[in-house]
Every structure is written in C-alpha cells, then in structure tokens.
Amino acid sequence: MSSEIYSYIYNVVMDKGALDIYTQSIYMKKNRPAIKLCILCKEDDLDKFIDLMLLETSTFGVRYNKYNRVVLDRRFEKLETEYGKITVKLGYHNGKLIRVTPEYDECKKIAENRRIPLNFLINNINHLINKKFKINLLT
Amino acid sequence: MSSEIYSYIYNVVMDKGALDIYTQSIYMKKNRPAIKLCILCKEDDLDKFIDLMLLETSTFGVRYNKYNRVVLDRRFEKLETEYGKITVKLGYHNGKLIRVTPEYDECKKIAENRRIPLNFLINNINHLINKKFKINLLT
Amino acid sequence: MSSEIYSYIYNVVMDKGALDIYTQSIYMKKNRPAIKLCILCKEDDLDKFIDLMLLETSTFGVRYNKYNRVVLDRRFEKLETEYGKITVKLGYHNGKLIRVTPEYDECKKIAENRRIPLNFLINNINHLINKKFKINLLT
Amino acid sequence: MSSEIYSYIYNVVMDKGALDIYTQSIYMKKNRPAIKLCILCKEDDLDKFIDLMLLETSTFGVRYNKYNRVVLDRRFEKLETEYGKITVKLGYHNGKLIRVTPEYDECKKIAENRRIPLNFLINNINHLINKKFKINLLT
Amino acid sequence: MSSEIYSYIYNVVMDKGALDIYTQSIYMKKNRPAIKLCILCKEDDLDKFIDLMLLETSTFGVRYNKYNRVVLDRRFEKLETEYGKITVKLGYHNGKLIRVTPEYDECKKIAENRRIPLNFLINNINHLINKKFKINLLT
Amino acid sequence: MSSEIYSYIYNVVMDKGALDIYTQSIYMKKNRPAIKLCILCKEDDLDKFIDLMLLETSTFGVRYNKYNRVVLDRRFEKLETEYGKITVKLGYHNGKLIRVTPEYDECKKIAENRRIPLNFLINNINHLINKKFKINLLT
C-alpha cells in the first residue's frame, strides 16, 4: 500500500468516530519492513472499523482485542490571551485538576497567521495557564 | 541475541505452523534498544510456540494474549501472463471479490530469472488483473 | 518538545522552500527516546533553515552536510478520468518515461467527496495510466 | 513530554514494583511522531500504575489489558572468576537448565573499573559458564 | 551483540569526550533487525572512537563522515527555587537569549528525593524561568 | 511501493556488488510513514546503483554522499566441530586478532537439518572458538 494513503486513512477513521489511530513500523518475514495500523474504537463500532480496514487498506486480515481505558475527565474553557481567545483542555483525576493544555490546532493557526514560532506561542500560553489554573499533581 | 538469528527464527516459526511473525524495535530500561518478537498462532499451538520461544531465543519470559481475527476468504487461481502462469490470491469479503494480488515469490523468481525490474513486472500483472477480475470496493 | 508541534514544523519548513523533510526515531543516552528532524534544502537556503531549526524547535544544535541528488525529470499532465481531470506526475530517466503517478492530494479529495475507498480510486487511475502511457523500465 | 523525563519514569516505575517497562515509537494522526509507554505489572498493582501514568506523564488516558506470562524458573549463583565473584542468573524450563547469563550490571562495573572492554569480559565469563554449567536446549 | 551492552557503551563513549551518541533501529538483509550506533565527535578524536567501536562492539567495520555544526552559545546559571538552587542552561543565537532549560539530572534527583512528579517540578521551574528570563524568539 | 518488494531489492542490490544495504523507517510530511532505503557501495559503482534505485523502486530521486570506512582485516578458516567443518571469520585490528565469528548461514543450515536450536549450536561453536583462538581486546 502506498504510504501516501495513510493521511487519507487517518482522516476517514477519525471522521467515522474512532477514539484514536496510530501506526507502528514492524519487520515481517521475508525481509519486509511494514506498517502496522492500529485503531482504537468503541466496542459498538468494531464491525464498522473491521470493514473499513478490509476495504480501505491492502490487508487480508484484521486482529482485534478488548482493552480497558482510564481517561481523565475533560472540560474545555476559553482562555483570554494577547493572541485572542484560545481553547484549553482541562484534565481531572479523582476530581482534582492535574492537566491543562492549549488546543494545538488553534495555536498552530495563530502561529502561522502571525508568523511567530509555535513553541514561543505555546510557552507564553503555558505561562498564562500557570497563572490562572491551580494544577496539583501531589497526591 | 545476535540479530543474525532472526532469519532462522522466522523460518522455524513459520515451518511449525504459525499464522504470522514479526518484530518491533523497542527501548527498554537501562538504555537498551531491543527487539520484541511477536508470533501469531492458533490457540492449540500456544504451548508449542511458548516452548519454541524459550528454547530458541535468549528470553527469560514470554507474554501472550488471545486475539480475534477477521480474514478475507481466500481463493487461489492461475493467471495466464506473457511470463507464464502466475498464482494470484483472491480475497472475498461478504462474498464479494475485493482484492486480487499476485504471489510475490513467483513474481520475484521470474524477475530475477529474466532480469526485469520486479515493480515493472508487478505493474504489468496488476494491469492484467484489472482486465480479468471485477474488483469492487464500493459498499 | 511536544509531538504535536511537528505538523506545524512540517508546514513551515515546506512553505519556506525546503526540498523535503522527515523524522526518525532515535534512542539517546540516559534512556531518552527522541525524534531526529531531517531537512533537505538547497545550499543557498542553508542559513535560513538552520535559523528556523534553532528558533522553532527545542534543540541546542544543528548538524549539516552536503549531499548530491539525482532526480527524475518531472512533467505534469492532466488525465481525463470518470472522476474528472486528475494531475499525474511523469518521471523521465535518460529521456525515457519510467514512472507515472497520480497526485495523491487530488485523489484524496475525490475519494473523500465521493465516499469511495482511496485505494479503489487509485487502482482505477493506475489502470487508466497503464492504458494511456507507455512506461518502460527495461534497460 | 520532554524526552529527558523517560529515564526518570523508568526508574520510578521499576522502583514501584513493575515487572517490566519499555517504549515504542509510534506515528499518530496530524503528523505526530510519538512515544508509547508500556508497563507490565501484576494485576494487584494496576490502579497504582494507572495513577502513576496519569500523574507522571502528559497523557490524558491509559489503556490496559490482561496478559498471561510464562517465565523460566530463576536461580542465582555466584561464579568465581579472575575478576572476582560474579552473579549469574540460571533459567530452568521443565526442571532443565536452559540458560545461564551473568548479571550485566556487575560486569559493567568491573569493565569500567578495570578499563577492559565489556564484550571481552562477558566473552570470558561465558567461557567459564560453558565449562561449569551443563546447558541443554535439546528436547 | 547483547542489547544490555549499550548502556555501557553510552557511558564509555561520553566519558571519552564524544559530543553525542545515539542509536537507530535498522533492518538489514537476511531478515536481520539491527541497531546502528552513531557517535558524534571532534575531528581530532576520530581515530580514538573508531578504535573504540571496533574493540567495544561486535562490528567488523565503521563508516564515518564530516559534518558541520551550528550550536547555540551556552551559559549556565543558578536559579533560586523553592526546591533549592537548580542549574539552568541558557542558549543564545546571534547574541539573543532564545532558550532556557533546567538541568534534568538535578531536577530528577530532587523529584526522586522529595517524591514529587518530575513533570510537576519542571513545570514549576519553567514558570520561574518565564518570570526571570526574557526569552525572545521573534526575529 | 509494496513492502514485499524489499526482499527482491535486497537480493538484486547485493548480487550487483553492493557493500551493504539496509532500511530505516521514517515519517514524512502529510502523515506518511515510509521506508528509507540505504545502499553502501564503492565509488565506481555509484552510477549503477543510482540507476538501480530509480528503476527498481518507486522513488523520484536519490541522495548520495561519500563516506570513509575502516574495516577489520578479514581472514576465513575452517573449524572442525562435532557438526562438521564450519567457516569462521577472523577480524584483525592493527595486526591483532580481535574477533572470531562463525558464518551464520552455515550454522543455520546445520541447525535446520539437525533440528537443534541455532543459539545452542552457536554457543557450542563459540566455546570451541574460545579454546582454539586467542582473542585479545586489551590495548
């Protein structure tokens, strides 16, 4: 399968409601470097994604297994910044705020439009986050 | 374990009836780049392959889990080509033909014997396949 | 450096005229899995891209070297298909046509709009290419 | 997450009683090369390590599954060598000795102190092991 | 070569004055996943490191090439924090401060001794750095 | 390019006199996991291998550079073993024997024919080598 097809697959899979998607490089028998495509989806969506993998890739088979997940409770807020409002994602563990990250897609757009380095922008946003939110990782 | 031992392992494992085998490069604690060997086999063969991994590699332990698989129904046909008969593998999903691929080992031999580029040969075979078989990925 | 910053870097680097960009996963001292960012650019653009790497990433240093390149002569044509006109890239070696590939971004858009599998579409386009163009890899 | 944080994570995780830890490089959507952190622990320790991953890394979620393991029975012995006593790990399968390896951390210290190549030292130790222990991989 | 030997090699190579060292996983002929060891050193040290690679690893040959480097000017300062003094590395480009990072080994020790998450500690240090230092990535 | 084509490429390239060949997994722009094919050849063979890469792979361009190599002086001997004569490769550095390794292809054949684990066989051969050859890595 041409490697250029992956960006398409990534889009299709996420659009159809997958929880996550990633690839890993593996080495198969007969000297074949290859790509292993991994999709994480809800149990109810299993058949849909098996069909999608069989139809959209060049594979002759799909393996699957059941995993459990623990995820942080998520909340989204708007943060006032000198660059305008930016969405930040808040992660709670046992009711305690332990993580706040700015939405990268929004930061990316600002950085591209204003022609400022993205890591400079994110550094400034993180500075604001540190002032505004009380993150506590101590148990 | 010396990296040269893998081609031997790949052969032994497939000869003993494994469904598939591949390796992944991983990074372990204490600055150790390492190779993770993965074997896919039928449940009845589990003990045989655990023994094989313990005896044939340098590992002190083997992990395993149960996976489900969905595979295309496969049929093999001979395709007449200007290079002689070549086996093609047909894959069916819900009774519909969705994939036809030539057997690479046969193509490889022809390419090596006739000193023609393998991708040129495969391109021609795929052209023939497109003429002869009605592949339909539309749902 | 957050992994999310790479898509931004890829865009910035290509927009500024790099010939190519890719990353490789490496393993550094002190148990650090890391990402090596590689940019291929014209010699005249060297200073620009060194500055860009120092400003846009978290690195404290950049290594570079001079490589030679041999590239196929490229020409672009429009191919009439049942999906509309699609650009194809033609590659010539010593004046001989040895490669024709459809532009993936255009194919991707069509596949997404028409909700047909991209590999099905590309297969059909390649079939057309095989009919229309005389590709010859024989020396 | 900065790559330098991994050596810390590796230490914390092993100190808290994990059975093993490793990372794999993966490639996520939106052009993000990333690192997948895998921890192998006893079932009773599951909650502890999920908490640890959520608190000590930048992730918003953890996946887990139950694996079975087959491990060699292990015994440790002291081996008299020209470099002093060195611990060797013995691995038994079905009551039969099939593997003997010197403890690398001890060998490493000796090699560093005496300024002799580690592979030279290990080769000599393996020579001694071959004389002293009867390893038999034949079934 | 056993993968456990790498942490030793990493130490030996850095102790002997290399500028950097890293490994990459590659895939060789005959189905051999392997590790490529890369050392970056000053030109005057070339012979020393070639000898070291030939003696300390299992290789039968070493390849080398000359690379140029551009590095940030570096200065080190002590930063007063609630955890005591921590060294920070300052990076200057064309005389302008563009990067300040805390020394991870020191942070790691504090995190381990005080049993606080390292990413929490580093986040706090970065907060202090943002207050004390004027980093400017704008050209 | 289909991953199955690599074993063919590896064979063709080595048959045409390359010094070495390997692949690396890389991540390109537009979410494309890809394979970088590296060939090491003599300077006189450069044109031949550039042509080969352009014709035998799907690439539109090839990069190359000049590397220096230091290799051990090699000599081959036959070693009498309980499994018959086996070729061993001797490596000399500054006239001193520093490495002796059995030829894996021969060992592999014996292991497959006699159905004994290859690592068991190699361990025994190394034991013999240690008795017969005086390897000295001390400077």
Neighbours of chain B (3+ CB pairs under 8 A): A, C, D, E, F
Distance CA(F104)–CA(F112), nearest Å, equals 12
Closest CA to E55 of D110, F139, F129, D123: F139
DSSP string covering D58-89: S-SEEEE---EEEE-EEEEEEEEETTEEEEEE
Structure tokens at C63: 């290594």
**Looking at CA atoms only, how far is residue F82 from chain E in angstroms?**
25
Q: In this structure, which long-range contacts are made by residues D88-91, counting pairs with CB atoms below 8 Å and at least 24 apart in sequence?
A: D88/D125, D88/D129, D89/B60, D90/D133, D91/B60
pLDDT of residue B2: 82
Residues 60-99 of A with CB under 8 A from C: none
Residues 23-62 of B with CB under 8 A from A: 23-25, 38, 40
pLDDT of residue C2: 81
pLDDT higher than 80, residue D1: no
Q: Which amino acid is at A47?
A: D
Pairing of strands A68-71, A61-64: unpaired
**Looking at CA atoms only, how far is residue D116 from chain B in angstroms?**
20
CA nearest to F66 within chain C: C67
A138 confidence band (pLDDT: 50, 70, 90): confident
Paired strand residues for B89:
B76, B101
| Locus of tokens 């999310």 | C4
pLDDT of residue F124: 93
* Interval D46-77: pLDDT, tens: 999 999 999 999 999 999 999 999 999 999 99
pLDDT of residue B138: 80
pLDDT of residue F17: 97
pLDDT of residue C6: 93
Distance CA(F28)–CA(D27), nearest Å, equals 10
* Interval B29-40: pLDDT, tens: 999 999 999 999
Check CB contact under 8 Å for D25 and C25: yes
Distance CA(E124)–CA(A131), nearest Å, equals 11
Which residue in A48, A63, A68 has the most chain B C-beta atoms within 10 A of its own C-beta, making it the best mutation to test that interface? A63
Check CB contact under 8 Å for A10 and F32: no
Check CB contact under 8 Å for C6 and D33: yes
Parts of chain C with a pLDDT under 70: none
Pairing of strands E61-64, F68-71: antiparallel
Residue pair E88/E79 in contact (Cβ under 8 Å)? The answer is yes
For B7-31, give one letter per residue: b (16+ CB within 10 A) or e.
Answer: bbbbbbbeeeebeebbbbbbbbbbb
If one counts every other C-beta atom within 10 angstroms of the C-beta of residue A30, the result is 18
Distance CA(E26)–CA(E49), nearest Å, equals 21
Check CB contact under 8 Å for B30 and E4: yes
Which residue in E19, E99, E100, E135 has the most chain C C-beta atoms within 10 A of its own C-beta, making it the best mutation to test that interface? E99
Q: Is E117 on the interface with A (CB under 8 A)?
A: yes
The pTM (predicted TM-score) of the whole model is 0.94
Which residue in B25, B29, B30, B36 has the most chain E C-beta atoms within 10 A of its own C-beta, making it the best mutation to test that interface? B25
CA nearest to A58 within chain C: C119
Which of D9, D56, D119 is closest, CB to CB, to E56?
Answer: D119
- When the pLDDT of each residue in chain D is averaged and rounded to a whole number, the result is 95
CA nearest to F28 within chain C: C22
Residue pair F67/E64 in contact (Cβ under 8 Å)? The answer is yes
**How many CB pairs (< 8 A) connect C and D?**
39
Check CB contact under 8 Å for C139 and F51: yes
Check CB contact under 8 Å for B33 and E1: no
Check CB contact under 8 Å for B112 and F8: yes
Residue pair F7/A30 in contact (Cβ under 8 Å)? The answer is yes
Which of F21, F40, F72 is closest, CB to CB, to E54?
Answer: F72
E1 confidence band (pLDDT: 50, 70, 90): confident
pLDDT of residue C138: 80
Residue C23 backbone class (left: φ over 0; alpha: ψ -120 to 50; beta: rest): beta
* Interval B37-62: pLDDT, tens: 999 999 999 999 999 999 999 999 99
Check CB contact under 8 Å for E24 and F24: yes
| Geometric angle at alpha carbon C131, from C128 and C132, rounded to 5° | 85
pLDDT higher than 90, residue E138: no
pLDDT of residue E84: 96
E4 confidence band (pLDDT: 50, 70, 90): confident
* Interval F68-102: pLDDT, tens: 999 999 999 999 999 999 999 999 999 999 999 99
Residue pair F111/F117 in contact (Cβ under 8 Å)? The answer is yes
Per the model's pLDDT, the better-predicted residue between A135 and B71 turns out to be B71
Q: In this structure, which long-range contacts are made by residues E98-107, counting pairs with CB atoms below 8 Å and at least 24 apart in sequence?
A: E98/C54, E98/C55, E98/E72, E98/E135, E98/E136, E98/E137, E99/C58, E99/C60, E99/E72, E99/E135, E100/E129, E100/E133, E100/E135, E101/C58, E102/E126, E102/E129, E104/D2, E104/D4, E104/D5, E104/D8
Distance CA(A39)–CA(D28), nearest Å, equals 11
D108 confidence band (pLDDT: 50, 70, 90): very high
pLDDT higher than 80, residue A81: yes
Pairing of strands D20-28, B20-28: antiparallel
Instruction: Please measure the distance between the N-terminal and C-terminal CA atoms of chain F and give it in whole angstroms.
Output: 48
| Main-chain dihedrals φ then ψ at residue C11, nearest 5 degrees | -65, -50
What is this model's ipTM? 0.92
Check CB contact under 8 Å for C7 and A108: yes
- Chain E neighbors of A119, CB-CB under 8 A: 137
Check CB contact under 8 Å for C24 and F28: no
pLDDT of residue F125: 95
Residue pair C91/C72 in contact (Cβ under 8 Å)? The answer is yes
Closest CA to C53 of C30, C26, C35: C35
- Chain F neighbors of D121, CB-CB under 8 A: none
Distance CA(B102)–CA(B29), nearest Å, equals 43
* Biggest alpha carbon–alpha carbon distance for chain D: 56
Distance CA(E87)–CA(E81), nearest Å, equals 10
Residue pair B88/B103 in contact (Cβ under 8 Å)? The answer is yes
What does the DSSP 8-state code read for residue D44? G
Distance CA(E49)–CA(B100), nearest Å, equals 52
* Biggest alpha carbon–alpha carbon distance for chain F: 56
DSSP string covering E6-68: HHHHHHHHHHTT-SEEEEEEEEETTTEEEEEEEEE--GGGHHHHHHHHHHHSS-SEEEE---E
Parts of chain F with a pLDDT under 70: none
Which residue in E1, E5, E6, E26 has the most chain B C-beta atoms within 10 A of its own C-beta, making it the best mutation to test that interface? E6
Distance CA(B23)–CA(A28), nearest Å, equals 7
If one counts every other C-beta atom within 10 angstroms of the C-beta of residue E63, the result is 16
Which residue in F39, F41, F70, F71 has the most chain E C-beta atoms within 10 A of its own C-beta, making it the best mutation to test that interface? F70
Residue pair A56/C118 in contact (Cβ under 8 Å)? The answer is yes
Radius of gyration for the alpha carbons in chain E, expressed in angstroms and rounded? 20
* Per-residue three-class SS string for chain A: CCCCHHHHHHHHHHHCCCCEEEEEEEEECCCEEEEEEEEECCHHHHHHHHHHHHHHCCCCEEEECCCEEEECEEEEEEEEECCEEEEEEEEEECCEEEEEEECHHHHHHHHHHHCCCHHHHHHHHHHHHHHHCCCCCCC
A103 confidence band (pLDDT: 50, 70, 90): very high
D3 confidence band (pLDDT: 50, 70, 90): confident
Distance CA(E28)–CA(F23), nearest Å, equals 7
pLDDT of residue F137: 82
* Interval E56-93: pLDDT, tens: 999 999 999 999 999 999 999 999 999 999 999 999 99
H/E element, D37: strand D32-40
Strands (DSSP E) found in F2-131 = 20-28, 32-40, 61-64, 68-71, 73-81, 84-93, 96-102
